[in-house]
């Protein structure tokens, strides 16, 4: 079976999978499948699960919160805000929760740093003001 | 409900749907399709082999069945290989 290339993109990363044989996902019209040699195709995927099969004949799963799909010249591109890949669909939710937790922690740390910087800047401005406004 | 909750819910829904699909027994139509496909995969090379062998035998002045039998056996082997390939591809 002729393979095609699957490219997954979100805000921070890009994954390229060569040798995909079959792709199954859901859009507003329902579930559909794509194989190599399909004519140019554009659609918007519904949030949830998509899957693809590679040379090893196993399904690999993609969790995505809605994506734009573009198939052209045996190259399938999925553009989304975030995605998680796994060979086991039971693990996807766990991976997603872990990622969200990490993102929240990063966000908290960034927010704390910004607050500290603001406080330091305000203190420095106050000190400068006390010293007569000299830099 | 925020975007993460929507995403989580749709993922759980799709997972549950696939679980149900995997657990549900194949319907009568599904079984007929599956059985029919397997039957055709076995029979077509066998019948094709028989016709081809018969044609080869008919080219000989002394009419025999050597090629017919040989190609029927070859067709059976090819048919079984086809079936195994199909079943492995589906599982």
Into how many domains does chain A fold? 2
A58 and A122 belong to one structural domain: no
**Contact assignment for A96 to B13 by CB distance below 8 Å:** no
Question: Which residues in B lie closer than 8 A to residue A56 (C-beta atoms)?
Answer: none
H-helix or E-strand spanning residue A25: strand A14-27
What is the pLDDT averaged over residues A106-127? 95
Condensed to tens digits (0 to 9), the pLDDT of residues B18-77 reads 888 776 667 788 889 989 999 999 999 999 999 999 999 888 877 788 899 999 999 999
Q: Which of A11, A7, A34, A31 is nearest to A21 (CA)?
A: A34
Interchain contact A90–B (C-beta under 8 A): yes
Compute the distance between CA of residue A129 and CA of residue B65 in angstroms, rounded to an integer: 111
Residue A24 distance to chain B (closest CA, Å): 12
A28 and A68 belong to one structural domain: yes
Q: Which of B59, B68, B11, B19 is nearest to A65 (CA)?
A: B11
Compute the distance between CA of residue A64 and CA of residue A59 in angstroms, rounded to an integer: 16
Question: Which residues in B lie closer than 8 A to residue A63 (C-beta atoms)?
Answer: 7, 11
A45 and A111 belong to one structural domain: no
Residue B91 is predicted with a pLDDT of 64
Interchain contact A54–B (C-beta under 8 A): no
Compute the distance between CA of residue B12 and CA of residue B18 in angstroms, rounded to an integer: 10
Structure token digits, residue B69: 């039998």
Beta-carbon pairs below 8 A across chains A and B:
36
Residue A133 is predicted with a pLDDT of 59
A120 and A133 belong to one structural domain: yes
Compute the distance between CA of residue B60 and CA of residue B54 in angstroms, rounded to an integer: 10
Residue B23 is predicted with a pLDDT of 67
Domain's final residue, options A49, A69, A87: A87
Is pLDDT of A89 > 90? no
Compute the distance between CA of residue A94 and CA of residue A65 in angstroms, rounded to an integer: 15
What is the pLDDT averaged over residues A17-34? 92
A53 and A114 belong to one structural domain: no
Compute the distance between CA of residue B4 and CA of residue A82 in angstroms, rounded to an integer: 11
Residue A10 distance to chain B (closest CA, Å): 15
A21 and A78 belong to one structural domain: yes
Question: Which residues in B lie closer than 8 A to residue A100 (C-beta atoms)?
Answer: 4
A15 and A79 belong to one structural domain: yes
| Token pair 């696939």 in the structure block, residue | B18
A125 is in which domain, residue-wise? 89-135
A75 and A101 belong to one structural domain: no
Tell me which residues of chain B, numbers 7 to 46, contact chain A at a CB-CB cutoff of 8 Å.
7-8, 10-15, 18
**Contact assignment for B18 to A89 by CB distance below 8 Å:** yes
* CB count in 10 Å sphere of residue A100: 14
Residue A65 distance to chain B (closest CA, Å): 5
Question: Which residues in B lie closer than 8 A to residue A26 (C-beta atoms)?
Answer: 14
Q: Which of A31, A65, A91, A94 to mutate to test the interface with B (most CBs of B within 10 A)?
A: A65
Is pLDDT of A135 > 60? no
**DSSP for A41-106?**
EEEEEPSEEEEEEETT--EEEEEESSEEEEEETTEEEEEES--EEES-HHHHHHHHHHHHHHHHHH
- CATH number of the domain that A25 lies in? 2.60.15.10
């Amino acid at each position: 079976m002729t393979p095609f290339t699957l490219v997954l993109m979100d805000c921070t990363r890009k994954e390229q999978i060569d040798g995909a044989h079959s792709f199954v996902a859901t859009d507003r019209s329902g579930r559909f499948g794509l194989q190599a040699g399909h004519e140019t195709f554009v659609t918007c995927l519904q949030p949830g699960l998509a899957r693809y099969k590679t040379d090893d004949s196993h399904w690999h799963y993609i969790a995505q919160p809605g994506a734009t799909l573009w198939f052209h010249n045996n190259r399938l591109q999925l553009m989304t805000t975030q995605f998680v890949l796994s060979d086991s669909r039971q693990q996807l939710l766990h991976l997603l929760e872990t990622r969200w937790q990490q993102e929240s922690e990063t966000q908290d740390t960034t927010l704390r740093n910004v607050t500290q910087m603001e406080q330091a800047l305000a203190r420095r401005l106050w000190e400068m003001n006390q010293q007569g406004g000299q830099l | 409900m925020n975007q993460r909750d929507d995403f989580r819910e749709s993922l759980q829904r799709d997972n549950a749907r696939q679980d149900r699909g995997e657990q549900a027994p194949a319907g009568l139509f599904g079984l007929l399709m599956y059985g029919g496909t397997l039957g055709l995969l076995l029979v077509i090379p066998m019948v094709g082999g028989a016709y081809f062998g018969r044609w080869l035998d008919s080219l000989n002045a002394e009419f025999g069945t050597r090629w017919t039998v040989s190609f029927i056996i070859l067709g059976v082997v090819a048919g079984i290989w086809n079936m195994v390939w199909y079943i492995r591809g589906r599982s």
